Chains A and B, each alone.
Chain A
Amino acid sequence: MTTRPPQIDENPAGVDLPLEPLPGHSSRGRLERVLRRGEFAVTAELNPPDSANAQDVYERAAVFDGWVDGINAVDASGANCHMSSLGICALLTRMGYATIMQIACRDRNRIAIQGDVLGAAAMGVGNIMCLTGDGVQAGDQPGAKPVFDLDCMSLLETVRTMRDEEKFLSGRKLSTAPAVFLGAAINPFAPPYDFRPLRLAKKIAAGAQFVQSQYCYDVPMLTEYMKRVRDLGLIENCFILVGVGPLASAKTARWIRSNVPGVHIPDSVVKRLEGAENQKQEGKRLCIDIINEVKEIDGISGIHVMAYRQEEYVAEIVHESGVLKGRRPWMREAGADDALVAERLDHILHDNASEKPVDMVKNANSE
Chain B
Amino acid sequence: MSGNEAQKTSAPAVTQATLVKKARGKLAYKPADVSPQRRLQRRYTMRLWSVRHARFLEWVYARFADLFLMLHPFWNAIGYARAERPVKFVERHVKGLMFDCRMCGQCVLSSTGMSCPMNCPKQLRNGPCGGVRANGHCEVEPDMPCVWVKAWEGAQTMRANDAILAVQKPVDQSLRETSAWLRVTALAAHERKNTSGTAA
Q: Which residues of A contact B (CB under 8 A)?
A: 105-106, 110, 132-135, 137-143, 146, 148-154, 157-158, 169, 185-187, 190-192, 194-195, 198-199, 201-202, 205-206, 214, 261-262, 264
B40 within 8 A of A: no
Also in contact, A150 and B170, with CB within 8 A (given A137-B35, A190-B130, A264-B134): yes
Contact A191 B129 (CB under 8 A): no
Decide if A132 touches B122 in the complex (CB within 8 Å).
yes
Chain B window 31-61, contacts with chain A (Cβ cutoff 8 Å), 1 for yes, 0 for no? 0010100000000000000000000000000
CA distance A214 to B131 in the complex (A): 10
Q: Are A135 and B140 in contact (CB-based, < 8 A)?
A: yes
* Cα distance A191–B147 in the bound complex, in angstroms: 12
In the bound assembly, the distance between CA atoms of A261 and B142 in angstroms comes to 11
> Is B170's CB under 8 angstroms from A191's CB?
no
A154 vs B139: C-alpha distance when bound (angstroms): 21
The proximity string for B residues 89-132 relative to A, scoring 1 for CB distances below 8 Å and 0 otherwise, is 00000000000000000000000000000000111111111111
For B126, list chain A residues within 8 Å (CB): 151-154, 202, 206
Residues of B within 8 A of A106 (CB): 122
Bound-state Cα–Cα, A205 to B127, Å: 14
How far is it, in angstroms, between the C-alpha of A340 and the C-alpha of B126 when the chains are bound? 55
B125 CB contacts on chain A under 8 angstroms: 151, 153-154
A154-B126, A154-B168, A158-B170 known; A261+B20 contact, CB < 8 A:
no
Contact (Cβ within 8 A) B131 A192: no
A195 CB contact (under 8 Å) in B127, B140, B169: B127
Given A146-B121, A148-B122, A192-B148, verify A135-B139 contact (CB < 8 Å): yes
Find chain B residues with CB under 8 A from A132 CB.
Answer: 122, 124, 129-130
- The answer on a CB contact under 8 Å between A201 and B165 is yes
Size of the B side of the interface (Cβ < 8 Å), in residues, is: 35
Q: Which residues of B contact A134 (CB under 8 A)?
A: 131, 139
Given A138-B139, A154-B169, A185-B130, 11 other A-B contacts at CB below 8 A?
Answer: A135-B121, A135-B122, A140-B17, A148-B123, A149-B170, A152-B129, A153-B125, A153-B168, A192-B136, A206-B126, A206-B167
Q: In terms of DSSP, what is the predominant structure of the interface of chain B?
A: loop
Question: CA of A202 to CA of B15 in the docked complex: distance in angstroms?
Answer: 40
Name the A residues within 8 Å of B20 (CB-CB). Answer: 142-143
Contacts of A137 in B (CB 8 A): 33, 35, 140
Contact A195 B152 (CB under 8 A): yes
Q: If A140-B16, A201-B165 touch, does A195 touch B121 (CB 8 Å cutoff)?
A: no
Query: Cα distance A138–B134 when bound, in Å?
Result: 17
Q: Mark B149-170, 1 if CB is under 8 A from A, else 0.
A: 1001100000000000101111
Docked-complex contact A190 and B128, CB < 8 angstroms:
yes
Given contacts A110-B170, A154-B125, contact A191 B131 (CB under 8 A): no
In the complex the two chains form, what is the Cα distance from A202 to B162 in whole Å? 12
User: Across the interface, do B130 and A262 meet the contact criterion of CB distance under 8 Å?
Assistant: yes
Check B180 for interface membership: any CB of A closer than 8 A: no
Q: Is B146 an interface residue (CB 8 A)?
A: yes
Residues of chain B contacted by A191 (CB below 8 angstroms): 128, 132-134, 136, 146, 149
Expressed in whole angstroms, the Cα–Cα distance for A114 and B5 within the complex equals: 46
List 5 interface pairs A-B (beta carbons < 8 Å), by A numbering. Answer: A132-B124, A138-B139, A148-B124, A152-B126, A157-B169
CA distance A194 to B148 in the complex (A): 12
**Is A261's CB under 8 angstroms from B139's CB?**
yes
CA distance A289 to B17 in the complex (A): 38
Most chain-A CB neighbours within 10 Å: which of B128, B131, B140, B152?
Answer: B131
**B40 to chain A: closest CB distance in Å?**
14
A160 to chain B, nearest CB (A): 11
Nearest 9 CB-CB pairings of A with B: A187-B130, A261-B131, A153-B126, A261-B139, A140-B17, A154-B170, A135-B140, A262-B130, A262-B131
**Complex contact A146–B122 (CB within 8 A):** yes
Chain B residues whose CB sits within 8 angstroms of the CB of A139 once the complex forms: 17
Shortest distance from the beta carbon of A239 to any chain B beta carbon, whole Å: 18
Determine if A199 and B127 form an interchain contact, defined as CB atoms under 8 angstroms apart.
yes
Residues of A within 8 A of B16 (CB): 140-141
B167 contact set on A, CB distance < 8 A: 153-154, 157, 202, 205-206
- Could you tell me the distance in whole angstroms from the C-beta of B162 to the nearest C-beta in chain A? 9
Quote the shortest CB–CB distance from A53 to chain B (angstroms): 16
Question: Which residues from chain B contact A262 at a C-beta distance below 8 Å?
Answer: 129-132, 139
Which residues does chain A contribute within 8 Å of B136, judged by CB atoms?
191-192
Residue of B nearest to A198 (CB): B165
